[in-house]
Amino acid sequence: MRSKLTLRIRTMRCGMIAAMAPIAILAMFAFANVASAADAQSGMPHEVALQQLLDGNAHYVADKSLRPNERPSDAKQEPKAAILACSDSRVTPAIIFEQGTGSLFVVRTAGNTYDKLSLESIQYAVQHLGTRLIMVLGHDRCGAVTAAVHEYPKPTNSEMLKNIYPAVAMTKGEPGDPVSNAISENAELIADRLAHDPEFAPMVASGELKIVAARYNLATGAVTILPTK
């Protein structure tokens, strides 16, 4: 009689465990999803992200690249930085910052300026992917800036030139090479413009979001952080 009772109790326990297992698994996945969403909202701190980019660039310049993950990935993207870079084929953010798949959210336009679509792309990285660092990356011998310097102040229908004209106007008459001066000024003005965008301004003011201007040296591969406005 006792053995039958013991067997019945064991059977009941096994049934309860089997019934509870799916619930436990569902709870585990639910918790994981909540944690993942929280991580995406917080994002990597911008000072950490910027230091990782500069460290990677130092390896790249020294020809000591560690070659991080460059394989295909369908994992959830959580880019540490959004890079607004020039479309120039020699300016490849993932390479010059030694970053692998999923590390950077890159928007590229001639002259590293932006329009509504580019802005919405960057906003997506910040609002939905948790990115807390935006870098506007100019580079020497930029063809778009060179064209703007040569055309200014002629009226133009080119959105590219109109976006760069303010930098040309700000640097006109300064000592040094006018194109080089305008390249740095353009990156700084674009970064400042982004910092005052209604979507970003409160986050910048609170210190949650960092927006920096930088310049890439085509010959050496080095990236220099430019002054902020």
Q: How many domains does the chain have?
A: 2
Residue-number span of the structural domain to which 27 is assigned = 1-42
pTM: 0.81
Shared-domain flag, residues 84 and 162: yes
What does the pLDDT look like over 122-145, one tens digit per residue?
999 999 999 999 999 999 999 999
Same domain, 107 and 134: yes
User: Does residue 104 share a domain with residue 5?
Assistant: no
**Given a cut of 60, is residue 112 above it in pLDDT?**
yes
* More confident: 93 or 3: 93
| CATH number of the domain to which 101 belongs | 3.40.1050.10
- Burial of 116 per CB tally in 10 Å (0-12, 13-18, 19+): exposed
Which is more confidently placed, 12 or 100?
Answer: 100
Mean pLDDT for the stretch of residues 191-204: 98
- H helices within the chain, ranges in order? 2-42, 46-61, 93-96, 116-129, 143-151, 159-171, 178-195, 201-206
